[in-house]
Amino acid sequence: MAGHLLDKGHRLTVWSRTPEKSNPLAAKGAAVASSLEELAHSCDIVFLCVTRNEDVEQCVRGLQPGAKPGFLVVDHSTVSPVLARAMHGFLSEHGANFLDAPITGGSMGALKGQLTIFCGGEQADFDRAAPVMEAYAKRAELVGGPGLGQTMKLANQIAVGGALLALCESLAFAKKAGLDLAQTRELLSTGAAGSWAFENYGPKILAEDWSPGFSVTNQRKDFAYTLEAARLLDSAVPGTALVDRLLSRLEEEGHSDWTTAALYQTLVESGFESWT
C-alpha cells in the first residue's frame, strides 16, 4: 500500500515497529521517521495498519504529541468499533482527527491496489483522505460516523466466515464421497455456489498449501471483535461462532499461522457426529 503511494508520486514518510521493513520503501525514495512523534510532526495525514486494539491505541497515543492542528490518523487496522470511537474522542480532545478505515481484499488486493475501504468518521476527514487512498483502493466509502467503518468490516467478516465454511465443508464432503476435487471446485464455482472463497482459496485447498494468505490467528482476532460487537448489539451470529470454534482447533494443534483455508483439513479429519 505504501509502495502504491510512492508510485503515484506522493511524498511519503514511513515508520515501522519492525524497522527493517522500512528498507524497501526507503530504497524507493521514502523518508524514514525514527519515532511516531517524529512521524506525526512531519506529516499531515498518517495511515496506520497494525493488528489489534492495543496496537492501534499505542500508536495513536505515540503519534499525538507530535500532531499539528488538523492532523489526521486514518486507521486501516481491523479493531473493535468501541476502540475506534475511543481513539476518535482522544484525538478530538487534542485538536486532531481520526478516521476508522478498515480494508478488505486481502494481500492480493493490497499488491494490486484494489482494496475496498470502509470508512467511519467525519465527512471532511474522509474528503481529505479519499484522494490519497485512491492510490491503493478500487473503492472507498464513508459508511457513517466514528466506529461504523469497523462495524462494516465486522459485517464483512461474518460473510467471509460463512463463505469459508461453505467452501471447506463442501470440498471435505466431496473428498469423502470420492469425487474429483479439482472437478468439484471447477464445476461448483461456475454455478450458484461460486464465491471469492472458491476462486481464491479453492486452489490452495487442492494443493494442500496452508501458507497465509490470511492466517487463522488474524481471522480469530477479527472474530473476537465481531462476537464482542454482536453481544453489544444483541445480534445472533451462530455461523461466525461456529467457524471461530472450528478454527480454534487449528490453533490448538499449533497451526495458528496457517491460512484459514486449512479449515478444510479440520473438516476432513472430523466425522458426522463431531458437529451435529
Question: What is the set of active-site residues?
Answer: 153
Burial bucket for residue 57 (CB in 10 Å: 0-12, 13-18, 19+): middle
Q: Give the whole-angstrom CA distance, residue 227 versus residue 241.
A: 7
Is the Cβ–Cβ distance between 202 and 189 less than 8 Å? yes
Per DSSP bridges, beta strands 115-120 and 103-104 are antiparallel
What separation in angstroms does the CA of 76 have from each of 115, 116, 117, 208, 256? 11, 11, 8, 30, 22
Can you say how many angstroms the Cα of residue 145 is from the centroid of all Cα atoms in its chain? 20
- Cβ atoms < 10 Å from Cβ of 241: 15
